[in-house]
Amino acid sequence: MRASLIQIAVNPDETVETRRARVARLVREERGAAELVVLPELWTTGAFAYEDFVAEAEPLKGPTYEAMSAAARDAEVWLHAGSVVEAAGGALYNTSLVFSPDGELAASYRKIHRFGFDKGEAVMMAAGTDLVTVGLPGLTAGLATCYDLRFPELFRGLVDAGAQLLVVPAGWPARRLGHWTLLARARAVENQSYVLACGTAGTHAGVEQAGHSLVVDPWGEVLAEAGPDEETLRVTLDPAKVTATREQFPALKDRVL
Ligand SMILES: O=C(O)CCC(=O)C(=O)O
């Protein structure tokens, strides 16, 4: 399966509407080049633009849903459209959306671990409760978002639910870049799964973003890594590599707890 990760630059000099249209064009450009396209966390507002969360919140089927559904259909790709600030039942959620190539919503995932300790997302957003997997061509994907990367038990749950590919949209800060690459590789190695970790570039709300989106194979090798700026990574994922890794080095079978 060919996959493209589009590392979007999120800067305050671009409006959300302009960025939404620009990202939809970037997705359409992957037509014929990929079966799966992945976008980062909260690329509309920026993951740290807390002051914009209420104003930019959308119902699940809001403007980002509509634009990304149409882009997936036009590009004929599975689209992990990153996440949006979802308004539902009087609460906000950091919700990821996955579309099938006919533009239908195949899965949505509300981020379980909210970032910010006693401020920002951690206090403004409600936590998701459900682990989510989705069947893609040849591989089952498990969904996680940004700060979730620090919680290995979530990923074990996804593997138990059948995941072979872990998709992690993020808005990870540059000052913790070392943790980002280390944790992405660790999640791949310990779960013998592909990891597609797609972050943002640019600087918003005064927080420089790490960029450095990366794709890690089930043996922990980095297949592709972006630089700090906006960039599209293109890789080919082989489902047989997951099976072979798990058969030849069956550590997952030795779990005791
Ligand atoms: O865990 C981190 O260092 C960054 C997490 C984060 O930025 C987020 O979840 O939005």
**Whole-angstrom distance, CA of residue 248 vs CA of residue 172:** 34
CB-based contact 97:20 (threshold 8 Å): no
In the numeric block, the tokens 């671990």 are attached to 113
In sequence order, what are the beta bridge partners of 143? Answer: 167
Topology given in CATH for the domain delimited by 2-250: Nitrilase/N-carbamoyl-D-aminoacid amidohydrolase (3.60.110)
pLDDT tier, 257 (very low <50, low <70, confident <90, very high otherwise) = confident
pLDDT tens for residues 214-238? 999 999 999 999 999 999 999 999 9
Q: With DSSP H G I counted as helix, E B as strand and the rest as coil, what are the percentages for the chain, rounded to 5?
A: 30, 30, 40
CB-based contact 173:207 (threshold 8 Å): yes
Q: How many Cα atoms sit within 13 Å of 119 on the Cβ side?
A: 4
Q: Which residues line ligand 1 (CB under 6 A)?
A: 47, 115, 146-147, 150, 171-173, 176, 179
Element of type H or E holding 26: helix 16-28
Average pLDDT of span 28-38: 98
pLDDT at 157 over 90: yes
CB-based contact 30:231 (threshold 8 Å): no
- Domains of the chain: which residue ranges? 2-250
Closest Cα to atom 5 of ligand 1: 147
pLDDT tens for residues 44-65? 999 999 999 999 999 999 999 9
The pLDDT of residue 128 is 98
For residue 197, give Cα distances in angstroms to 5, 50, 63, 238.
8, 22, 24, 17
Closest Cα to atom 1 of ligand 1: 147
Q: For 25-46, b where at least 16 C-beta lie within 10 A, e where not — what string?
A: ebbbbbeeebbbbbbbbbbbbb
pLDDT tens for residues 73-107? 999 999 999 999 999 999 999 999 999 999 999 99
Q: How many Cα atoms sit within 13 Å of 199 on the Cβ side?
A: 29
CB-based contact 103:78 (threshold 8 Å): no
Residue of 115, 145, 180, 207 to test ligand 1 pocket, by largest number of atoms within 8 Å of CB: 115
